[in-house]
Amino acid sequence: MGLGGCILLIGAGAILTFATDWKSESVNLDLVGLIMMAVGIIGVAAFTAIARRRRALVSPVAPTVIEEPRHGGHER
């Protein structure tokens, strides 16, 4: 799930919790909205942690060059 999906979960959860007055006997929509917002917030936190780790700059390390003595075609 990307950042957009997490933001969508937060928005849909907020709408269910704060902007609707639907009543259902089997499902508590306020609780469903709160769960959706919590999952969205956790997703945003995970996404930003992963993105921050990807963007960490690592100084380039010069390759180690080992020169071996060359032997000519004729050995004496």
Query: What are the pLDDT digits (tens) for 7-49?
Result: 999 999 999 999 988 888 899 999 999 999 999 999 999 999 8
**Cα-based distances in Å from 21 to 15, 28, 34, 46, 67:** 10, 11, 15, 32, 77
For 52, the 3-state DSSP assignment is: helix
Which range marks the domain in which residue 49 is found? 3-54
In a domain, 70, yes or no: no
| Residue 57 pLDDT level (bands cut at 50, 70, 90) | low
In a domain, 31, yes or no: yes
Q: Are 9 and 39 in contact (CB under 8 A)?
A: yes
Q: How many domains does the chain have?
A: 1
Give me the amino acid identity at 51: A
In a domain, 66, yes or no: no
Cα angle 16, 49, 46 (rounded to 5 degrees) comes to: 30
Q: Are 49 and 11 in contact (CB under 8 A)?
A: no
In a domain, 75, yes or no: no
In a domain, 44, yes or no: yes
